[in-house]
Structures are given as C-alpha cells and as structure tokens.
Structure 1
Amino acid sequence: MACRDVYSRVEKAIGNVFARYGVFVGTYPWIVLVVSVLSCCLLGIGMINLTSESDVEKVYTPIDSQASKDRSTIRSLFGDHSGSNFYSYSLTEDNLYGSVIFQSKDSANLLTLAYIQEMNTIRDQIWSNVLGNGMNYSQLCAVRSSTCVVDGDIVFTNDFKQLLQNNNITYPMIGSTSVESVFGDVVVQNGILQSAKVLKLVFNLRQDSQQFVDNSKLWETDFLSKMEQIRSSTLDVAYAHSSSLDEELSANISGDIVFVSLTFTLMIVYATFVAIKCDCLIDRQHLGRAGVLATCLGILAAFGIGSACGVEFVSIVGVMPFLILGIGIDDMFILMSGLAEAPLDRSIPERVGETMRISGVSITITSLTDILAFGIGASSNFLGVRNFCIYTGTAVLFCYINFVTFFIACIAINERRVVSNRHSWLCCKIIPMKTEMINESPLRRCCCGGTDPSQVEDQRSVLESIPGKVIAQFVSRKPFKLFILLGFAAYLGIAIWGATNFRQDFDRTNLVTDDSYYFQYITIDQQYFPQRVPVSFVFFRKLLIILNPKQQVRSTS
C-alpha cells in the first residue's frame, strides 16, 4: 500500500506540472505557436552549412581505428610513386581508376582477333578522350617504366596475338605477368587458356600530388560520360570508376527525397482521414495535418542545428524522416485521445491542461527513451551510425518540443473555434444541427451544420472509436486471448530462429539501385573476379638506451 501511495503522489505531482503548463499554453496559444514556428525556421537556416560524406570507407569503418593510425604512419614514411613506379599494392590510399568489363552479347569466347580488335577500338576511344583542360589519359595515367599502367593491356600486344594464334596462352601467368584479374569465366586445359568470356581493363591514374588527384577525378567523371555514349554491336560493356559507389550512394539521396515527399503526403491524408468527422463544428482533421506539420518542423530544426554544428550528412540519415514521422504521428494521436477525455464543462485553458495531464507523461516517457537510445548510439565509433543517431535523436527531441508547444497551441486554437461555434474550414458562424438544420438535406447538414459536443464520444471520429468499441470486445474474450498468446509465441519462436541464422556481410550490390551502371559492373566483377587483398608488413627499428653504473651503452634492435 505504501508503494502505491508513493506512485500515486509522484504521478499526481508530475501530472500537475503538465497541467499547469497546459493551462499556460491554452491561455496564450498564438504566442506559443508563433514562437515555436519561428524557432524551428531559424534553426533550419543552419542547413546552408549542410555537408555530406559519401566515402564508404570513412562512413563504415571505425573512427581512429588502429588501421587508420597505421595508414597515417605508413603514409608519412612511404610516398606515392604512381607517377613513376606504380604498383597498386604499394598504395596507402584507394587507387584512382576507370574500369571496363567486356562480355560478348552471345556469351561467346572473347579470345578471337575480331573481339580483340573491337575491344581495342573502345580502349583507344577512352585513351584519347580529352578533358576540358586539354589533358587526356596519357597525361594522367599511372606510370611504371615510363609506360602507362593499364591492367589487361597485355591483350592488345603483338606478343599476345602471336600466343593466341599458336594456342599457347598460359594461365594464370603469361611470363611474369598475372592475368587472373584480366580474364573471367575461363576454360583452362593443361595450363593453357582455351577461352575467356569476360575481360576486364583497369585504367590506373596518378595521385602523387593534389593537382593530379583533382585532374584524375575530373577524368573519372568524363570517363562516365564517354562510356555512356559508347555502343557496340557485338559486346556488352560494363564500367565504373573508383568513386562510383560513393557517387551512387549520394545519388540515392535524391531518390529518397521523392519517397519522403510521398510518405509525408500519405501521412497527411491518413491523419486527415482518421480525424475527419461529418460535422463542421467538431471536425478535427486540421489537427491531423497540424501533427504532421509539427513533425516536419522538428525534422527541419534537427537538420539545421546538426548542420550548423558540423555534423556531416551520410546516406543512412535519409532514413530518419520516415522514423520520426511514425514517432510524431503516435504522439499526435495520444494527445488527441487525451483531448477527447478532457471534461467538456471546463474552460479552454483547463481542458488543454487536462489534456497535458492525461497524455503529457506518455509522450514524454516515450520521447525520453528514444532520445536516450539514440544518445547512446551517438557514441559509436562508426561515423555513419554516430551521425545517424545524432540527427535522429535531435529530431526526436524537437519533435517532442513541437508537440508540447506548436500542437498543443493548435489544440487550444481549435477549441476556441468550437466554443465560438465557427465552421472548421470557413471560420464563420454555423447553424445548430438540432434546430434550424433538422429539416435540411443530409449534404447541407454535413457542409453547414454543427453539433455542440455533449460527451466524450462526440469528439472522436468513427475510426478513433473503433479500437475501443470493437477490438476491446474481442481481446477480452478467452478464445482470442489464447489466439493472441499462441500468435505471440509463434512470432517469438520465428524471431529466435531468424536470429540464429544472422550473418554479417557487406554486399555492395545492396547499396545501389538495380538500374545503376555500377550495379551491372559490380555484379559481373564479383562473379568472375574474386577480390584478392595483399597484406603488407612494415618493420620498425627502435633505439634502446641501456644504462649501467659505469657507462652508457646504446644498442638497436
């Protein structure tokens, strides 16, 4: 009994705080509404500083990891020699390149002079393509032994053609050159390459100075434009460059904008439809739209303050509006339910205060738990997870603030309209439904008439009343209770079984759309050219100082 008394006292004390706040907002709704909207809009101005980060390695690898520290150390010791003695495995950064994969349209063997000539024609077009600054690939290529390094270029040499005519192409090595990364879907007999249905060229680029890095990236962009124009009657050509994945992830954001707009439109329609009532006085559909608007303002404020603080936008943050919209709509219906339960014989400020007493604690607890969860996530060592949690947690906070300011003010303004007997759309005085409108047509009564609410159910729409009237009746019966318990047990069992089959994977095809040029390229590349990662070892020699009473001896190890 003592614990129950303590709980009741705490609940009453907290409820009284919310009630007093609700009375304040109900007394000055327009001031609270204007301040809330202006605050969110001013915070939203911070979006002019919005920056994005699309580097997959930076976004999805731990910050300040040992690998990144070791890379910095090695970078300071070994320079970049891509302009004089290029070897891809000696680079400390991701290589800059443009890559092309050839397949015949009828899946035929590419090791014929006709196909080699066709591929060589496309290669020459890429090689000779000139940038706007007058530079072509030969001026930007990675160099070894004074020659541009193009992986797969061996196919176009006279020596290779001679080996082809003699049917003497050894595999996987031709002399001292490995061709495993050049040919795919191969047939080999006794160490001799008989056929290859896939062939890959990699145009390596210089990156030994910032100027060459900038020009090489310009070449990559122009490379895409060139490849989009190339057509072949006999070959299928897939292509990509070193930044293709990053660019495609950024491009997906524009596609998300369309879905975000569609989602918010559907939510506005849904909230309107749920709250609509065929009575021009007690119709609450505008409150449904106000709830969606409160969520939008919260998202705007979160993006603005996050951008102003220098938090970079990463692709996963594009999911945030969908999540916040669901949270906001839940808060909206909780507050509207509290309003419906507020006594009708009270003044408007008192009814708003009672709404906050009933529902304020609920939305506060749910918002605090969400903010706490995302706050913990913001401590992640992964930039993508950290920035997502920062933006989402901030959005939850501002969404909550908007609902206890903007939306509560909208409730108070709507209640003033009802008390003054005004139309929900036109705000003009309406004709009482039970007197003058009693003999009018149903359409005129729906569009022009109104009824003063006399009980709780009068304020709820049909869809708002269904859960309490219908679902509660089913849930209270034993057969349905048993069915719910069995259903939950089945759901829990399937969830546990699914968790046991959880596996970790990083498939780049899942990060881009199916119609992307990069999707076509990476699908073929992963199928026929398995990735091989060289492992480098760097040994350091440390200077040790050994002291004894007689002398100081220096030794190295």
Structure 2
Amino acid sequence: MVRCKTDCIQKPLSRVFRWLGKLVGRYPWVFLLIPFALSAGLGAGFYFLPQRKTNDIEDQFTPIGGPAKTERDFVRKHFGSNDSGQFSAQRLYTEGSFVSLIAISTCDNVLNMNTFKELIKLDEMVQNITVTEPGANTALTYQQLCAEVGEQGCMTVNPLLSKVKRNESLIETISYPMLQDSVFIGPYLGGVIRNSDNTTVQKAKAIKLVYYLREDGESDKNKSLKWINQCIKFFSNNSLQLNQIQVSYFTSLSRQQEFDLTTKSIIPLFSITYFVTIFFSILSCKRYDCVRNKFWVAAFGVISSGLAVLSSFGLLLLCGMPFVVTVANAPFLILGVGVDDMFIMISCWQQTRVKDKVEDRMAATYAEAAVSITITTLTDVLAFYIGILTSFQSVQSFCIYTGTAILFCFLYNITCFGAFLALNGRREESNRHWFICTKVAEVKDDDCSSSYNVCCVGGEYNQDTGKETDHPITSFFRNQYGPFLTNVWTKCFVVLLYGGYLAGSIFGCFQVQEGIDLRNLALDNSYVRSFYDNDDLYFSEYGPRVMVVVTEEVSYWDLGVQSKLDRCLVSFLTNSYVSESYSESWLDVYRMIANQMKLNISDKSNFIGNLSLLLSGLDYMQDVDIQSGGIMASRFFIQTVNVTSAVDERDMLNQVRDIAKSCEIPVLVYHPAFIYFDQYAVIIENTIQNVAIAAGAMLVVSILLIPNLLCALSVTFTITSIIVGVTGFLTYWNVNLDSISMITLVICIGFSVDFSAHITYAYVSSQKANVNERVIDALHSLGYPIVQGAVSTILGVVALSAAECYIFRTFFKIMFLVIAFGMLHGLVFLPVLLTFFCCCDRNEDDTAKINPHLDKFPNVKLHDKCKQEISVNSWEMNANEDKISTCHHNNCFYPEPDYPLSQDIEPSLKDSMSGQDFDKNLQSCLCIYLCIK
C-alpha cells in the first residue's frame, strides 16, 4: 500500500514538545511565575486605553482609501461652504451640523391646520433651546447659531411650514414634489398620497424639520455642538405633550454618540461570561475520584486565558495600537480558544500512564497535545493576521488584537497552564486530596460509607492500561457512538444529511445581503433607530441629491464641449435611479439668462466675464470654481429616486459611477452618503480575498503538520464546507455581509479548522488496524474534549446574545454557527469522510514480519502500548539475528525506573536474554519493543 506521509515537520516538532514537556514537568514553578510576571508588566499598557480608543464610525466602518473619500477631497478643495450667508444643504461635502425632526401624524394626514399648529409649536420650542458660553451671560438660541441664506437669515427648517405660516390656504393645494414656486420638498414631506392628477397632495403622513447650524469657524462649530447636545438632552428628558404628532429626532452627533455607548453595554456581560465558563470548565472536568479531580486545573485554564488577554492587549496598547469597539468581542473569543486547548491537554494527560513520573507524563502529554494545538493556533493566528489585509479599519484592529491574543494564549497554555498541570500531577502522584492536599487511601474500605469512600479515598486507575479511568462520556464515544457512526447505514444517512446541509448553505449564499445598516451601530433602545425607521418608512421615495463634478479645466464656452456636457447629463437622467425632472445645472441657467439678455458667451472672455454678473447672488455661483481667469472645476446636481434598500444603494452607486466613466468630459459623482456606500464596492472582494488566502495558508499548515496528505486535504475541504455553511445560514438569521460579519467570517476561517484538525491528527496518529477502528480511536481520544471546547466557546459568547447592540449579537450568531458547524463536521461529517478517502490502514505485513520470530518465544506477550505503536520500518535495530533486545522508538523514549517488568514480559523471556543487564535496559525505556533484525 502506498502511504502519502508528510511528517518531516510533525515528528521533529513532536520531539521538541516532548523535551519541552519534560522541562516544564521538572521546573514547573519557573514556567508558572514567568508568565505571571510578564502579564503584570504588559498589563501596564491598559493605562493608555483611554488614549487609544478610537470609535469614529467613518474611520472604522468605511473602506480605507475608498473612492468617495478622494472625491470628497476634490469637492472640498474646489467648492468651499459658507454657512454665514450662502448656505445650501445640497452643496455640503459633509453631512453638516444639524438637528432633524420627523413629526408623524397620529391621524391619517399631517396636512391639516391642527397638526400644523402643533408643528409651529414644536418649531418654537426647538428654536428657544439655549446654551450659554463659559464666562458669558448671553444665552445663545438657534437664531444666533443657524446657518444663514443671504438676507433671508436662517436656513428654512421646512419650506412648506414657512409658506403655510404665511398663507394657511396653501395647505389645501400643495403640489409635490415641487411646490408652486419650484421649491423641491421631496425630502421634507413623507408618506405622500397624490391626487389623480399626480401632482397635488391628497394627504401625507409625516413632515421633516431640519435645523442646520454654522460650522465655518472653530468658535461657531463649538457653539453649534453645544446647542445640538442641549437639543438631545431636551428631547430625551422632556415629554412634548403634543396630541396631533409623534416626534422622532436625530442629530449630526447622534450616530457617533450612540455608537460610543455600545462598548459600555458589553462590560457587565464579560464578567458573567467568565463566571459561566469557569463553572462549566470545572463541571466538565469533575471526577468522583478525590485525587484525579481536575477542579483547580480547569479553573486555572480559564485564568490562563485571562492572562493572555491581559498581556496581548497590554502589549498592543503600549505599542500605540488603536482600540476600537469591535475589539471588545475578542476577550469572549480568546476565552473559548484557551479553554478548548486546555481540554485537549487534560485529555492527553489522562492518556498517560499514572505510575510514570510527572515529567515523563508531561513529556507524553506535550508530544501529543502540543502538536495538535499548534496546528489550530497557527491556523487561527494566520487567519486573523491575513484579515489585516482587509480595507476596513475595524476589521484590521480586531484581527491584530485577536491574533496576538491567540498567540499569547498558546504560549501561556504550554508554559503557565502546563506548569500548573505538572504541579497538579505531583499532587496526584503523592495521592493527595484535590482540596485539602492530604494523603488519602488508594483502596476503598467496604466497612466505610460510600460518601466516605468518595470523599476520602482516591487515586484509582485502570489496572490493564495503567491510565486514568475513562470519563463516562469518553467511554460513550468509544463504545457506543464510534461503532454507531462507522456503521454502513449510518454512513449512508450522514452522506444524505451532508447533501442537505450543503444544498441549504449554497442556496443561502446567493441570498446574502451586503452592507452595514448605520442604525445597527446604535443600541436597540436608542432614539436613533426610531428616527431611521421613520425615515425609511416615509422618506425613501427620493434618495441622495448627487453632485456631478467636472474635474478638469475645459472650454465651457465651446459649443462642442457644451454638447458633450449635455450628453453626459442626459446619460445620467436616463438611468432608472435618477429622476429626469429635478436636476440642476448652472450652465443651463447661465445659457438661459444669456439668451434672454441676448449676450454673447461663445468666447472665453465673454463667458467668464458675464458669469459672475449674471449668476451673482444665486447659489449657482457656488458651483463654479474660477481661478486665474479659468474655470478649474464645476458641478451639477441630479436627484436619485427609489433608493430604498442596501441593494439599491449599491446598484445606484455603481451605475452612476459607470456613467461618469463613460462621459466624454472627465467627471466624478459625489454625495456624503457615498462614504458609507463605498463598502459595497469592496465587501465581497475583501471577503473572497481573505477566505481564499487564509484557506490556502490553512492547507499549507495542515500538509506540514498532519502526516498524511489526503487527511490534510480533508481538513481544507472541511474549512471550505464550514465557511459556505456559515455564509449561507447568515441569510436565514437575517445577518448582512458587512464589516462586522466579515470579522466573524475571518474567525470562521481559523476556527473551522480547530475541531477537524484535532480529529484528523488523532486519526492519523492512531495505530489501529483499519479505518473504522482508527475513527473510533480518534473519537475516543478527542470526542469529549471537542464537545467541551465547543460548549465552552458557545458559553463564552452566549452572553453576547443578550447585548443591546447589533455588533455583539451578530458576533454571537456567527460564532454560534461556526462552532455548531465545526462540531458537526468534526464529530459527524469528517470521521465518515476519513473512512472513505483517507484509507491509511496499517500494513498487515508489519505484524507478519514479527510473528514468526515471536513464535520462538511462546510465553512472550507484547504490552498494549507496544502493539499500538509498533512499526517495523521505524525501529532502530540493536541486536543480532534471532535475538530479542531492547530498542528505542522515536515516539517512546524517556526514563521510567518504576516500570513493572512482570506486566509485559514473562520470566522465560528474561532468562533467554543471557549476558545482558535486562533490568537496567528495561528501565531506560518507556516500554520494551521486541526488535528482530
């Protein structure tokens, strides 16, 4: 049989960890105290936490170097704003400073005088809100702080409200979306039902009031911010006592302020999670044997994970890494990872021989467990560090913090936790009670009560294997579950089940929605969510008013250039997301006025000379950047419509940008909302890139550390299967593909390999004769630790399901899917797959080579461990032909002075080995191999 082994790294690594385990077992206090001292030093970095917090939504949740940011820089450079005389909301290159109110009629129609009287009352209440500057006695109202429009004064908060104040009869004949004097009121009147003429309003459900404030200078900006904060306090602390309308409110500060509160909401959940995880770890490691009980070991495993978080976060804070709200998810995750590795190490410890020295048991534990957790640590760390390649700062920060924490978690598990495991082993070696540490009897006394025997007698072990007695669930995996899973009919059912899982997952992948909804950055009970809901419900007919900016100096007076500009604008207006009726063009207005006045503007001198004269006092002059006698840039406006969903936002953005690229004149399109819409352009690309690179890295790690090529490939296949499943099932749980879910998909890449790698490595390491037995052996060794790790990880994040914030609930949902599907693959799908494709049965010729020689010694019996690890090809021969001698195996070589001779080799064999110091040779090896040359 051809064997595809790739163990050139695995075997040396196993020997290195065996040496390390022996060293930890010999000097446990050194390896215990150094991590504590290191954690204390690095923990000082938390002093800088307040300085490192950076929760700016734009920085964290929009693509780094997104096109809209470049477009905004161009608009800012060529088209400044003037809030003190020429304010125009549609011409802002930012959202501006504002307070926005949505008043919803409690009856069917907001357009009646009783409602308008309450609207006027509401407007007066807002305008009378005051703030006082430090050291000044004058109270500042909206009138002193408002953005101004020429002689009109303050920018109109709602054009319809202003006109109805002057003429109440207008309320009966409102035209929509253009008022009779050509004022566009689409953004101000919502839930509109038109009359049969399709131009006048029959009724409307909501009306919007927007209060813009000055922010030209630093002084104006600070005053405006104070007034906005005062408005927030006013609406949050006062009952408006309005009968005709219900009011929701939002400000330019609200989104960021509410987002900042999300971090504080998660702190209580963190302490709950640690308590629950410690309790579960102790409970799952509990033994009725008062000596073998792993109470303190389980508790310390959780503490070790906490030290990893303290050290890694402290180190990165010392190095100046920004701390964003998404990083608050990391400690929950690290807790699950650390506890998972702890369970693996405890399981491997229990597979060692009880009567061996502690340092020998530690060597055997590390040789088996450390390689397994090295595989998962490498894949996890690689997955997170690869996530740094993404275009979102929030994802980058999370990946850096979490990847570093997992690395520390691994280091502390093989040093700090290993040292504590060794100290606990010394207690067990002395047969001391787990709680009071006094020596207890090893044999139960039938004359004593059962409670006495449970509490005061311990240290029993399996006399046949020399190992600790199996946990009941471990026995279940070997005796019931393993044989059931390897049954032919069970395998057929598993294949059908996997087909259903894959079909549902693939279908879900094609239904996933893209993009983050900004309302989800606020807490569930935030006033921001109410405003967004009402805005979507009543004001979604008209979308952003988009700037079309000519980016180069062109000859606007040339008729050919004008034709190109006209064709460009027409191409925009024919798009399904753009209204044909509500565009604005300074050039059209200029040409119209010039024609009316019969002015010649066909040459540069006349065109530019008359421009300032004819458009003076109009907002259109803000759309032309005249420098050094030339027009360096100009802009036009188009009105988008029916942008009601994330898909519409994505499609609209892509289409208008494609149209801009096709224009004969170089133009760009811009609106402040495009800063957030940019995520649609990169979210899919970034996700696929991260998944592909990380999956490739996982494949390389698996091939290098799992000594069988087909089995390593099966791990990679499992990763892909879990990622597809998690992505698909996001749809069924109403989670969009955004920067938040991208984080957890990066997690998915790393964590999807954990359980499958453990099972696959145990399968490859098993010495059983055929594939079914090897699967049963792997499930026996690691089935229970996988269940423990899965449950502990879910418990580590389950508290997040109660969070009042979308970010943390989404993290829980995807982590739950990752762990649930990971466990399903590790304990059901993958074991069956291994029996089909990784047929690495032991070569029957190995035993056949030995048996003829053993026949010469009828009384010889091989120890069980020797039978499991026997491999003729790897023996080192140290005897003459037909002679039996001791030899050392590369997986079994360290001193064992107390090894009982009588258990393995009968006296007849000892007598046959004349001329050798048999006892001395026997004490130099863990077990005796019968080597035939």
TM-score normalised to the size of structure 2?
0.55
Contact 2:353 2:467 in 1 (8 A): no
Partner of 1:527: 537
Which of 528-537 and 280-289 deviates more? 528-537
Contact 1:151 / 1:182 at 8 angstroms: preserved in 2? no
Corresponding position: 1:33 with 2:32? yes
The structure 1 segments of at least 4 consecutive aligned residues displaced by more than 6 Å after TM superposition are 1-4
Deviation at 1:356, TM superposition (A): 0.6
User: What is the distance in 2 between the residues matched to 1:452 and 1:391?
Assistant: 44
For structure 2, the 5+ residue unaligned runs are 134-138, 555-629, 633-933
1:345 and 1:152 map into 2 onto residues whose CA distance is 86
Gaps of 5+ in 1: 543-555
* In 2, Cα distance between equivalents of 1:443 and 1:130: 75
Structure-2 residue corresponding to 1:375: 385
2:443 alignment counterpart: 434
Identity %: 29
- 1:342 is aligned to 352
- Contact kept? 2:118, 2:242, Cα under 8 Å: no
Residue of structure 2 in register with 1:135 after alignment: 140
Q: CA deviation at 1:239?
A: 1.0
Residue 395 (structure 1) shift: 1.5
Distance 2:520 2:298 in 1: 36
* CA shift for structure 1 position 300: 2.3
Please say if 1:12 is aligned against 2:11. yes
Give distance in 2, aligned partners of 1:118 and 1:2.
86
Does residue 445 (structure 1) correspond to residue 456 (structure 2)? The answer is: no
Deviations 1:249-304 (A, max 9, x none): 22222222233333322221221111001122110122222222222222222322
State the match for 1:541 in structure 2: 553
Aligned to 1:354: 364
Shift of 1:345: 2.9
> Following the alignment from structure 1 to structure 2, what is the Cα–Cα distance between the partners of residues 180 and 163?
20
Matched with 2:735 is none
Once the 2 structures are TM-superposed, how far is the Cα of residue 156 of structure 1 from its aligned partner?
4.3
Separation of aligned partners in 2, 1:172 and 1:489: 53
Q: Which residue of 2 aligns with 1:23?
A: 22
Matches within 5 A, 1:441-480: 441-454=449-462, 455=465, 458=468, 460-480=470-490
Give 1:168 deviation, angstroms: 2.0
Q: 1:193 to 1:7 in 2, by over 3 A?
A: closer
Per the alignment, in what secondary structure is the counterpart of residue 148 of structure 1? coil
Report if the CA contact (8 A) 1:184-1:199 is conserved: yes
* CA gap 1:162/1:14 in 2 versus in 1, 3 angstroms: same
Per-residue Cα deviation, 1:221-264 (whole angstroms, up to 9, x for no partner): 22111001133241221111123222222222222223333332
Task: Give how far 1:479 is off.
Answer: 1.7
For 1:231 and 1:426, locate their aligned partners in 2 and report how far apart those are by CA, in whole Å: 66
> Is 1:119 aligned to residue 127 of structure 2?
no
CA distance in 1, matches of 2:414, 2:485: 32
The higher-RCO structure (CA 8 Å, 6+ apart) is 1
Q: Distance in 1 between matches of 2:366 and 2:424?
A: 16
Q: Aligned-pair distance for 1:196?
A: 1.6
Give the distance between the partners of 2:96 and 2:469, measured in 1 at CA.
Answer: 65
Alignment match, 1:62: 63
Contact 2:355 2:429 in 1 (8 A): no
Distance 1:464 1:95, change over 3 A: farther
Q: Which residue of 1 aligns with 2:802?
A: none
Q: Superposition pairs for residues 328-339 of structure 1, below 5 Å?
A: 328-339=338-349
Q: 2:513 and 2:205 mapped to 1: Cα distance?
A: 32
* 1:276/1:461 contact within 8 Å kept: no
Aligned to 1:553: none
Q: Give the C-alpha shift of residue 378 in structure 1.
A: 0.6
Q: Which residue of 2 aligns with 1:549?
A: none
- Helix, strand or coil for the counterpart of 2:21? helix
Three-state SS of the structure 2 residue aligned to 1:124 is: helix
Aligned match of 1:231: 240
Hey, what's the Cα distance between the residues in 2 that align with 1:232 and 1:136? 22
Cα RMSD for the two superposed structures: 2.6
| In 1: Cα distance, 2:190 partner to 2:66 partner | 35
Deviation at 1:8, TM superposition (A): 5.1
Counterpart of 1:441, as a letter, is S
149-158 or 167-176, which deviates more: 149-158
2:686 corresponds to which residue? Answer: none
In structure 2, the residue matched to 1:547 is: none
Q: Which residue of 1 aligns with 2:230?
A: 222
SS of structure 1 residue aligned to 2:85 = coil
Partner in structure 1 of residue 906 of structure 2:
none
CA contact (8 A) 1:111 1:164 kept: no
Q: Secondary structure at the match of 2:204?
A: strand
Question: Which one-letter code corresponds to 1:95 in the other structure?
Answer: G
Residue 10 of structure 1, CA deviation:
4.1
Query: Higher Cα Rg: structure 1 or 2?
Result: 2
Alignment CA distance shift 1:388-1:354 (3 Å): same
Identify if the C-alpha distance between structure 1 residues 217 and 33 changes in structure 2 by more than 3 Å, giving closer, same or farther.
Answer: farther
User: Which deviates more, 388-397 or 118-127?
Assistant: 118-127
Q: Report deviation, 1:66.
A: 3.5
Matched residue, 1:89: 90
Match of 2:928 in 1: none
Q: Distance in 1 between matches of 2:167 and 2:474?
A: 78
Alignment partners' CA distance in 2, 1:168 and 1:10? 83
- CA offsets 1:367-422 (integer angstroms, 9 cap, x no match): 11111111111122221221121111111111111111111111111111112222
Contact kept? 1:281, 1:422, Cα under 8 Å: yes
- 1:206 matched to which residue of 2? 214
Q: Deviations over 1:25-58 (max 9, x none)?
A: 1122122112112212322321222333333222
Q: Contact between 1:80 and 1:207, CA under 8 Å: does it hold in 2?
A: no
* Distance 1:219-1:297 versus aligned 2 partners, 3 A rule: farther
Segment of structure 1 superposing worse, 528-537 or 355-364: 528-537
**Residues 261 and 466 of structure 1: is their aligned pair in 2 closer, same or farther, counting only changes over 3 Å?**
farther
Moved more, 500-509 or 154-163: 154-163
Q: What amino acid does structure 2 have at the position aligned with 1:416?
A: R
**1:127-526 alignment to 2 at 5 Å?**
127-133=127-133, 134-146=139-151, 147-152=153-158, 154-157=160-163, 161-164=167-170, 167-174=172-179, 175-189=181-195, 190=197, 191-228=199-236, 229-234=238-243, 235-427=245-437, 429-435=438-444, 437-454=445-462, 455=465, 458=468, 460-526=470-536
TM-score by length of 1: 0.90
8 Å contact from structure 1 (residues 206, 213) kept in 2: yes
Aligned: 1:80 with 2:86: no
Q: 3-state SS of the aligned residue for 2:117?
A: helix
Distance 1:199 1:466 in 2: 66
Cα distance per residue 1:126-164 (max 9 Å; x no partner) = 211122424332232222125222431541455554233
Partner SS state of residue 320, structure 2: coil
> Which residue is 1:48 aligned to?
47
Deviation at 1:339, TM superposition (A): 0.7
